[in-house]
Every structure is written in C-alpha cells, then in structure tokens.
C-alpha cells in the first residue's frame, strides 16, 4: 500500500504557541493508528476519500479483528503514557480525546464482541459498493473498474467472515442478515446497468462476470447463515453491567444509565403533552389520533414526488439559515438525495445520511430516504409533508450534512475519527427544535411531527436501556414504539430491530439534544449580553464531532 505520508502530509493540529516536548510524539502515535486502520480497512479508507485500495474489501476474518484489537491495546498504552507535563494544553485535550476513542473501540471488540455473534459481512460489502457508485470522486468508468474488483473479492471475504462465528449466532441478527442477502444482488444489477454505455465491451463483460460470481457467493453465504440458526441463540441483550459500562465510557457529562432512563420517561411525558397541545391548535374538536391521521394523509402522490419534496425542504432550510444569520454555510458544500439502496431498506426504515469523504477533493454528502419497509402499501404516510420538513432539517440543513461538512475541515485526525453519536445525532435533533424556534415551518402541523419525532427519540432512550437490561422482548418493544409514535408497525419493527445490536446508540438522540440545550443555556449565562447564537453554532461545528462534555471543555476555555 502507498505510504500516505510520502505523498501528502496528514493533517495535524496547529502547533501550540508553546509546544510541549511530547506533542509531536502524540501526533505520531495518532497517525500510526490512523494509517493502520486505513491499511486494514479499505472500505473505511474509501468512505473517507482515500482511494488507493478501492478495488479490495480487506480481510473479513476473525484473526484480523483480534489483530486490530491487540494493536489498539498497544496504542492505548503508549498514548496513556504521555504525561501532562510533556504536552501543551491543546495536545493534552487531543490525548484525552484519543484515549476516549481507543478505549471505546477496545471495549466493543474485547468486551461486547458483537462482531463474533452477528454477521455484518453483507452490510460491509454493500457500503463498500454503494459509496463508490454514488460519489463522483473519479470518472464513472474508473469507479466501475474498482467496483468490479470488489465484486470479485466478495467470495473470499465471505469465507473469511465465517471464521468470526466461533460462538452461537444470535438468530434475530442472522435473520436480518438473511434479509440483506435477498436484497443485495438487486444492487449488483444496478452496478452492472451503470456500466452499459460507459464501459468498453471487455470491461463490461468483466463487470457482469464479477456480479454473477458475487451473486453465487451471496447465495452460498445465505445458506451458511440458515445453517447457523438451529444451534443459534435468542439471547441478544448485553446486560445491565456491560450497558452501564458503555454509558460510562461515553462521557455523558456525568449521567449514568438510571438517570438517562428517568430523563427518557420525563421527556416522553413532556413531548406527548406538547403534541397534544399542537394537535388541539389544528382542530380543538378532533381527537389527537384523528389529527395525526390527517397530517400523515397529506403526502406526495408518489415516492419520486416525495424525493422532490425532500429536496425542496432541505434547500428552503438552507436558505433560512443564511437569511436569518443562524450559522455559517460553506460555499463549497454539496449534497445529493437518493432512494435508500435496496440492501439497506430492512435496517433503515426512514432516512439516513452518509457524510462527505474527508479526503476527497470535492466532498459530497448523500442523504438517503427509504420508500418502504417490506413493500408496506401504507409506507407513503411516513413521507407526509410535515415529516419531510423535519427529517430534512435533521439530515441536511443544519443537521447532519452541514455539521459533518464543517467537522471534516478540522485538522485533527483524532477529531476526524471521533464517534460521538450524542453530538452528531443530538445536533440533528437540536436543529429540528432550533429551526422551529427561529420561525422555519413553525405551524402546528409541523410541531405535531416535531413532537412525534421527539416522542420517538424519548422511546429510544427508554427502550435502549430496558431492552439491554432484559426487561423487554423485541415484540414488546415494537408494541410500545408503535403505540407511542403512531408509526406504521413495519417501520416500528425495523426500528426496534437495530436497537438490539447497537447498544447506547439509540439513546443518544434526545439525550444529545438535552445536553446541547444545557450547554447553550450555560454559555448564555456565562457570556451574558456577549452571547451570540451564530457564534455558538459556528464554534460547535468548527470544533468537530466531539462528545458534548469535550465541547464544554473547549467552550469554557479549560484547554
């Protein structure tokens, strides 16, 4: 593999006015870990815009996971050994953040070990293909050549992935992967179709052969998945002790899981009351369910029309930010909105966002919207105009797209690699509320959906903790979510499904909004008349996708 440092220097934080003698040693350790991850995870490399290995998938086997774990443990030991006295204030902050990141990675690989109980190989493959097809970092023929290479690598990768399964596999998770196995070959067909009229005949034949071989490999893998079910397990919850430990590692401003659970119930009561009040504004003589039904019935005629409506809503929101001077919007940011690829529709019931590739010369975000889950004929009701507005704020402006586009410009590799859902998802939810505060789509129908979506996220706080403590089954959690939110049951079921294998992620959304509102209130009190909302937003976004507790350190000058 090409040594990236030999072709272009990796970004580093601006040197301190008074550098510490160990500052460069810290940044060398950060770079070493980053380069190892790029070398060992070519799909991740492609996702962030490093394209030297776009035609391979990497090693999907058990030994590769364990080798990465061992390397992270060694890296952590070296980083922790760098004492405060040898580091500048800024480097101490970067060290603490790097320790936070690596400890979380080690816990996931060594303690949770979901990777050996759940197959994720097909999702990995799908993501490795989707981003190459949808982004425009290179001409289409070059990207199709790389896609052919990845298609050719699928059979080997899937054989390697089987070696992870040395313990009973969780049946529910394997069923989710079987759903992906049924859908992924449809995406292969889309890749082949993209080559027609673009590739010369020999290259097109190679792409077609690669697709067919990949299809067979997926069929064989699906048969293997089926074979894991009889001796599988229905035990997926990680348990109170490990869930509490994960919460502690997340640096939630000192909150523990019991406090977060109570906060979830409190927010659920508040948001239900807010929805009731907004529904009465629309029609004081109708019950709440009737009002919600009317709102959900106000929808585009077709999914293509819905995509146009999503596009219109997100660009209206962008202009509102500029017109009202709420946050800086870069002139060179770009975003596309497309239908969710078929292989993801059973795990993304509504919408999602793929961030701009940090190292691409012209990065572009991708906003995906799911037409339906399982072909549900009522699914278009979730694409009502009020929901379209709220979702587009969350996913695009000023939500994920603007936040992550701003974050990619930070020169710290540690910050670029930080995974802090309570900030990223919390910012998305904060954006929904802030935009209503600032007069965007602020009528009662929009506020009914704002509260509905907050009810949904309050349910996530409750379900995340209660499900992993073993207090609720999947069916019971689905019933609870559908009852509280009025979601179509197919969407509620798909939602709850992913809560089972991403512990502490679902609770991040409304918790993150709560933490951000608390930080904003503290800054207003600290700064008094000098507080400026745009400056607050710009400072947050420029500092990167950090845990809110780390943002607090930066905001208050404790660095």
pLDDT in tens, 310-326: 999 999 999 999 999 99
pLDDT of residue 1: 46
User: pLDDT tens, 506-559?
Assistant: 999 999 999 999 999 999 999 999 999 999 999 999 999 999 999 999 999 866
Q: Is residue 50 part of a domain?
A: no
Predicted pLDDT of residue 344: 86
Of the candidates 87, 28, 25, 31, the residue with the CA atom closest to the CA atom of residue 559: 87
* Mean pLDDT, residues 7-12: 79
Domain that holds residue 321: 244-555
What pLDDT sits at residue 539?
97
Q: Is residue 535 part of a domain?
A: yes
Report if residue 79 sits inside a domain.
no
Sort 209 into a burial class: Cβ within 10 Å, 0-12 / 13-18 / 19+. middle
pTM for the full predicted model: 0.94
Query: Is 327 part of any domain?
Result: yes
431 lies in some domain:
yes
Helix (H) or strand (E) holding 339: strand 335-339
Give the least confident one: 45-59, 213-227, 284-298, 334-348.
334-348
Interval 411-426: pLDDT, tens = 999 999 999 999 999 9
Whether residue 398 has a cis bond before it, omega within 30° of 0: yes
SS (HEC) of 254-298: CCCHHHHHHHHHHHHHHHHHHHHHHHHHHCCCCCHHHHHHHHHHC
- Give percent of the chain with pLDDT exceeding 70: 98
pLDDT-based confidence at residue 431 (cuts at 50, 70, 90): very high
Interatomic CA distance for residues 556 and 559, integer angstroms? 8
Q: Average pLDDT of 335-358?
A: 90
Kindly calculate the radius of gyration of the chain based on its CA atoms and give it in whole angstroms. 23
Domain count along the chain: 1
Per residue in 251-270, pLDDT (tens digit) is 998 899 999 999 999 999 99
What pLDDT sits at residue 488? 82
Flag whether 413 is in a domain: yes
Is residue 90 situated within a structural domain? no
Cα torsion for 184, 188, 193, 195, to the nearest 10°?
Answer: 140
Flag whether 294 is in a domain.
yes
Both tokens assigned to 327: 């946050």
């Amino acid at each position: 593999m090409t040594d990236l440092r030999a072709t272009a220097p990796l970004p580093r934080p601006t040197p301190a006015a008074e550098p510490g003698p160990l500052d460069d040693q810290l940044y060398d350790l950060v770079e070493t870990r980053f380069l190892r991850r790029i070398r060992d995870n070519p799909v991740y490399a492609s996702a962030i815009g490093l394209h030297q290995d776009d035609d391979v998938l990497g090693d999907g086997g058990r030994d590769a996971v364990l080798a990465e774990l061992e390397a992270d443990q060694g890296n952590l030991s070296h980083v922790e050994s760098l004492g405060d006295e040898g580091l500048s204030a800024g480097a101490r902050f970067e060290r603490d953040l790097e320790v936070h990141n690596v400890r979380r990675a080690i816990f996931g690989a060594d303690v949770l070990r979901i990777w050996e109980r759940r197959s994720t190989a097909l999702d990995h493959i799908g993501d490795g293909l989707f981003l190459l097809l949808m982004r425009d970092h290179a001409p289409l023929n070059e990207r199709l050549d790389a896609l052919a290479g990845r298609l050719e690598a699928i059979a080997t990768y899937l054989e390697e992935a089987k070696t992870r399964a040395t313990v009973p596999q969780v049946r529910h998770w394997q069923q989710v992967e079987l759903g992906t196995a049924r859908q992924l070959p449809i995406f292969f067909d889309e890749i082949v179709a993209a080559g027609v009229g673009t590739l010369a005949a020999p290259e097109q034949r190679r792409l077609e052969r690669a697709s067919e071989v990949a299809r067979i490999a997926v069929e064989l893998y699906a048969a293997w998945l089926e074979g894991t079910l009889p001796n599988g397990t229905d035990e997926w919850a990680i348990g109170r002790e490990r869930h509490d430990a994960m919460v502690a590692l997340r640096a939630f401003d000192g909150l523990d899981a019991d406090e977060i659970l109570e906060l979830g119930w409190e927010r659920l009561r508040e948001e239900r009351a807010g929805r009731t009040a907004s529904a009465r504004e629309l029609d004081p003589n109708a019950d709440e369910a009737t009002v919600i039904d009317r709102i959900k019935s106000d929808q585009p005629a077709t999914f293509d029309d819905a995509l146009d409506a999503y596009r219109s809503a997100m660009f209206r929101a962008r202009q509102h930010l500029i017109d009202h001077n709420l946050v800086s919007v870069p002139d060179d940011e770009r975003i596309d909105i497309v239908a969710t690829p078929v292989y993801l529709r059973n795990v993304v019931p509504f919408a999602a966002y793929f961030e701009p590739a940090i190292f691409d010369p012209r990065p572009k975000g991708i906003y995906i919207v799911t037409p339906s889950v399982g072909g549900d004929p009522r699914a278009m009701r979730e694409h009502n105009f009020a929901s379209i507005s709220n979702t587009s704020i969350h996913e695009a402006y000023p939500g994920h797209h603007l936040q992550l586009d701003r974050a990619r410009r930070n020169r710290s590799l540690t910050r670029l690699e930080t995974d802090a859902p309570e900030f990223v998802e919390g910012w998305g939810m904060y954006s929904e509320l802030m935009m209503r505060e600032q007069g965007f789509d602020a009528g009662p129908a929009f506020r009914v959906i704002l509260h509905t979506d907050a009810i949904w996220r309050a349910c996530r706080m409750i379900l995340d903790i209660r499900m992993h403590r073993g207090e609720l089954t999947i069916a019971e959690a689905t019933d609870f979510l559908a009852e509280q939110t009025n979601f179509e049951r197919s969407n509620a079921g798909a939602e709850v499904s992913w809560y089972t294998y991403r512990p502490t992620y679902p609770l991040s959304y409304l918790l993150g909004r709560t933490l951000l509102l608390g930080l904003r209130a503290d800054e207003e009190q600290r700064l008094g008349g000098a507080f400026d909302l745009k400056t607050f937003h710009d400072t947050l976004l420029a500092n990167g996708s950090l845990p809110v507790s780390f943002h607090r350190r930066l905001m208050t000058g404790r660095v």
